Structure 1
């Protein structure tokens, strides 16, 4: 069956608020540098007030990946939960405007107890590291009912965001999506998202990978955390053969693409200046999956991923500012 979509991404629909701050801001507010920390509504309001002026942009890891697929010239869809409020309207407009189909039903803000649309407060320090403090709001309301079986069946790859694994209903949604995808002869991809996320869910992630995942994305810290090792080569050996393809990104050291019988070491793409690492892994996944859905060889998929990642870390914000299709031509 011909695929309608190259990739459908399932994840947290989050509006990012990004500010540049000195290192002292991290210490003063007790933030965990370089990580994503979940916060409640009260903490979100207090931190937002302290951050000062910022750039608001629709983000969320899987949403960024979907936007990258579209920027490369691919066809992408997104499944995620927002509320029909101001930020929800912003999110829906932004992701559709870049060419991604997004038809998930929003929550009704008039219903008592309905949480607002999620937001991630991102502090970028002078070393370009981003520290994320995320209020998940409406994101946690995603359920299996939000998984459109027709969309999943019509997608070459269904891409799952590890951050969403915190909620039982989201886990059920992931399993449903994976089963629908495989029943249609499609592929399933997972990003581990964050080493703290891996620590919370190691056993269930390992089970998910072994049972449902064809293409795994992780960075060096995440893959080490998953297998509880301190050596990179040991972690690579542990993941080899657990799924069809495993991709481990290593910042300026590029990436390693592993199958049961192959290893491809891919160099990082050159950049003029490192400004903000927000979205680097998300856009790498965009590039890799764009190539993967076109049956490019794995080293070429990694090269496209590196180019996409290099574009997004050269400016503030989690999504490309120039058409990625031009950069890979």
Structure 2
């Protein structure tokens, strides 16, 4: 087995988030489903951006956010994702490296524009995401650093990246390398729309033993299991994967590994501002615990702490000192 010098290697969409306030009337006027994520083309991205309130640009992307959270917790993290040779690509690379994450894929000039996600945040802190994938969907299998995969304790993959064919091939190559090197594979379902499009693929990965840690929220686990009741869905999926982690927003989170089950409540917060990145940062905390050999309960607590920090400000990257917030747990 290769020496594990890297805690987590994340693969995902390299996206710059543009975050702006909106009200329910604006969402209704644009026929947007509050709290959802939809894929849009470049023309729609330009149109919607022109209608939005003034926005704030923050580097994002689900797995990238998780990698940033891991680095903030003191873990060694690296990220694989494709950006273009443009202004947003430069912003993305600068931001993630400034946060202490190794960025392993060079920018390219032949992949269109760097991806961006237009995020509309309503007064109830729900975020409605409109994603133009651009260069992110051009990630190729040859861009996967197989040595980095082998050196990682955990490989973390986002379901959002499963949609385009090229990144899907890259993720499959990474899983193959991880299985050969004894690297644990963690996978997040990302969104119910991903499951509706790729449920059979995701279940095939699980049943083939290619996923060690599966992350889901309440809506996603019921969608994947085809069960309306939460506990029935959890039981059905937990029987098929070594470690299942399910977040439940204000109701906390649970983790099941065989006969072991742990749960934690949500961390108290002063004010809910923006739920963007809550699941990403929860995954960061949980994976940090797992990479450091902590128990399920401690890993869940770390996830809850990281998620609570990020929902109290705009943007999906941590702003407070996560190591201080997690003192004594890592």
TM-score, normalising length: structure 2: 0.97
Equivalent residue for 1:80?
81
Contact 2:22 2:53 (C-alpha < 8 Å) held by counterparts = no
Q: In the alignment, does 2:122 pair up with 1:125?
A: yes
Deviation track 1:76-109 (CA, whole Å, cap 9, x = no partner) reads: 000000001000000000000000000202211x
In structure 2, distance between residues paired with 1:298 and 1:265: 8
In structure 2, distance between residues paired with 1:173 and 1:260: 30
Q: In the alignment, does 2:222 pair up with 1:221?
A: no
Cα distance, 1:172 vs structure 2: 1.4
Equivalent residue for 2:148?
151
Cα distance, 1:179 vs structure 2: 1.3
In structure 1, distance between residues paired with 2:276 and 2:143: 27
Q: Which runs of 4+ in 1 moved over 3 A?
A: none
Q: In the alignment, does 2:55 pair up with 1:42?
A: no
Q: Unpaired segments of 5 or more residues in structure 1? A: none
Q: What does 1:98-137 align with in structure 2 at a 5 Å threshold?
A: 98-108=99-109, 111=110, 114-137=111-134
More displaced 10-residue stretch of structure 1: 217-226 or 171-180: 171-180
Equivalent residue for 1:33?
34
Q: In the alignment, does 2:61 pair up with 1:60?
A: yes
Cα distance, 1:185 vs structure 2: 1.0
Two-structure CA RMSD over aligned residues (Å): 0.8
Equivalent residue for 1:17?
18
In structure 1, distance between residues paired with 2:295 and 2:32: 41
Equivalent residue for 1:295?
293
In structure 2, distance between residues paired with 1:144 and 1:4: 22
In structure 2, distance between residues paired with 1:107 and 1:234: 46
Partner SS, residue 274 of structure 2: coil
In structure 1, distance between residues paired with 2:16 and 2:175: 26
Equivalent residue for 1:234?
232
Contact 2:10 2:157 (C-alpha < 8 Å) held by counterparts = yes
Size of the aligned set, in residue pairs, is: 325
Deviation track 1:151-171 (CA, whole Å, cap 9, x = no partner) reads: 100100000000000012222
Q: Unpaired segments of 5 or more residues in structure 2? A: none
Cα distance, 1:52 vs structure 2: 2.1
Equivalent residue for 1:244?
242
Cα distance, 1:210 vs structure 2: 2.2
Deviation track 1:206-256 (CA, whole Å, cap 9, x = no partner) reads: 111222100000000001000111100010110113121100000000001
Contact 2:282 2:304 (C-alpha < 8 Å) held by counterparts = yes
Q: In the alignment, does 2:190 pair up with 1:190?
A: no
Q: What does 1:260-299 align with in structure 2 at a 5 Å threshold?
A: 260-299=258-297
Equivalent residue for 2:202?
205
Deviation track 1:266-315 (CA, whole Å, cap 9, x = no partner) reads: 11111111110000000000000000011101010000000000000011
Cα distance, 1:4 vs structure 2: 2.0
